[in-house]
Amino acid sequence: MAGQFDGGSQGLEEQLPTDPEEEAERAALEATGCCRRSGGETISGNDFKGGYFPENVKAMTSLRWLKLNRTGLCYLPEELAALQKLEHLSVSHNSLTTLHGELSSLPSLRAVVARANKLKNSGVPDDIFKLDDLSVLDLSYNQLTECPRELENAKNMLVLNLSHNSIDAIPNQLFIKPPT
């Protein structure tokens, strides 16, 4: 049943992760305190190319996690703005060139996994780093050439994955936390 969307708000049954990428995502979920078996929806594997996205997702206002992996997304759906309790969003293995849009309007967002897309530097919005609870960000396997400009403003960042991009240097200030 994994990878199918039935429009309901109950979490779909899924198999235990078997590959390293799924294990990393599971660890990110645990780091944010989200429970993998409840409070979320897996819509991975569907084809949302051409702008189709299930409108009834915006009615699932109690969702805490949402997986939209391998769905052909080219942009973040506007329906995400209604998910004000969303803590973990995974949009891996799509065709996203930007994360601009609804992410900064999600006050509970703790984790964003956007690995293996087509993100460039301009596609990472500065305002995402103003989210108070953002603690996990995976932008690996994209087309970044530098660290996101506002990354140093991410107050609670615990896990940052920028591997497999074309980043030559990481600014020293990212490693030193100023006294508060």
pLDDT digits (tens, 9 = 90+) for 29-82: 455 444 444 577 777 667 677 666 778 888 889 999 999 999 888 989 888 999
Q: What is the second-level CATH architecture of the domain 20-168? A: Alpha-Beta Horseshoe (3.80)
Only one residue has tokens 């603690």, namely: 135
The structure's pTM equals 0.76
Q: What is the mean pLDDT of the chain?
A: 80
Both tokens of 60, joined, read 């699932």
Both tokens of 53, joined, read 């996205």
Given this model, what pLDDT does residue 170 score?
A: 85
pLDDT in tens, 127-148: 999 999 999 999 999 999 999 9
Given this model, what pLDDT does residue 168 score?
A: 92
Phi, psi at 88, each rounded to 5°: -135, 125
Given this model, what pLDDT does residue 51 score?
A: 65
Count CB-CB contacts under 10 A for residue 62.
12
- Percent with pLDDT over 90 in the chain: 51
Given this model, what pLDDT does residue 133 score?
A: 95
Count CB-CB contacts under 10 A for residue 60.
20
DSSP helix/strand/coil, 126: helix
Domain layout of the chain by residue ranges: 20-168
